[in-house]
Chains A and B, each alone.
Chain A
Amino acid sequence: MKLLVVSEYSNRRGSGYTTIAHGLVEELDRRGHTTVLLAHDYDGGEHPLKAALVSTDPARMPQQFRSIRLQFQPEAVLVIFDLTAHHAYRFMQNTGVPYIGIFPIESDLLVHPSDWTITIDTMDAALCESEFGTRLLLEAGLKARHFPVGIDSEFWRPPTAEERQAARQAWNLADRFVVFTVGDNHERKNLPAHYAAVSLLAGGAFQWPPCLGKQIKLPSRQVVANVHYILNTKRRPQKIGYDNYALQRRFELTDRCLVLEHGPKEGLSPEDLRSLYWAADAFLLLSKAEGYGLPVLEAMACGVPVVGTDCTGIAENLSGDRGYLVDAEYIHVDPFHNQYRRWASPLRAAEALSHIAHHGARRQVQRALDHARSLTWARAADVLEEALDVTVRQATEAAAATADHSPAATVAS
């Protein structure tokens, strides 16, 4: 089948959409589909895909889409992006080529009707990255199907003893207990809670929630004195965002933190990112909401015990004793009642990290590994192919029905 895929592809840094586009297109190539991938952020560099990979941006996209649709004549368009992008690319819908969308739903509530749900409703097939998001859509009466995101378990794998030692030497970590986080500098990521949890683990004590709560601290037997925190994140945007250095000072972590801040189109290569997972003793993600939480899955596949908020996409991967879920201290809904935010308890997170440091997490790690290995791109491609079969057949039948009722056909009959 001829497919036009629209997504993101950065060959210089890891990113969620790049990971999904790469894994899926590679599998589609393997199955004999012919694909053209129109990709944001692609810089023209070498890539291993058989598909043609073409750089794009919002300004060029409409013209490129029109030209490729006419010349390549794809049988379906597959767009892998967040709903803001799907909304912007609605001009690709209703062109006679079936439109299949893959997207995350980051949080409940699901307000319907809204721009986002109308965009989903007009897709020929709507594939949601999480089970909870799919459930929300179905409850709202929208047609949707769960798309099981895969992971390349050959690349994202536990290190050998030598590889782990080399990774820890490369990052100069000696015998520290390393907590690692991957997260954008985005409101949802709740970065202060991460610093708070690590500070508690190191023996810190402070009022929590700030200004309102009581003094919190871990019992001394749970403290991990040699804890070290590594955060791979984005540079603070100009107007709003977390100030990582102010947070380090506030939680007295300046001498036990490594913050890797990247510009908008910068980041670690997948190999460097993997070396951090390999070097880590625990992975921490206390987001208030997540569309899927791909770093959680990467950590699980690398054999790192994970501590994460009991919410949305994170909980799907960590439930079943595959990691440590941290309850929300409280849940708030934004002033317009559009989305919930779950504020994870730093104290509960610190306790989970302490348990990992003192007792290990062999059972959780093994279950996490089994789970990650079950999430193959072949499974994801099966779901996509089923959606393709249905939508392409429907489009063909609709075209035939239209032809039957054309003026020429009517006159002839």
Chain B
Amino acid sequence: MTSLTLVRRIAARPSIVFDALTTPQGIACWWGPDDGPVLLAETDVRIGGRFRVRFRALDGIEHESSGEYREIVPPQRLVMSWRWENGEDPGESLVEIDLRAIAEGTELTFTHSRLQDEHTRLTHEEGWNGSLDKLERYLSQVADRRLS
């Protein structure tokens, strides 16, 4: 487990979406939690190659994340490790992005998972059997009620 899964339907062909995900020019246009600027974007798109992106959020704080490309199947799939540089959320996590051609363009499925160690990951996936959404719903219900 522990993942966050998001799906987007995009009116653009998969190759264009894939370029947006992997080129520094593309990344500079969308990466970040708000409209703050991307200050640096580097990608070395080959297995074992690294990416590095630094951005400044609107609160003025700069963040940098980097990682290593693990799987590259243009224009369908991209897997990379993920780590924050300044020690916020220490440890490595994993980002997986799948692009599927649909009539209107591309369906993008994005997953960010915490447990990255293969053994742990497999064990957890077996345990999960797709009940992730249920857990997320459950987690937010419980926490909303308890924490609000």
Partners in one complex: no
A residues with CB within 8 A of B: none
Hey, which bits of chain B sit against chain A, CB under 8 A?
none
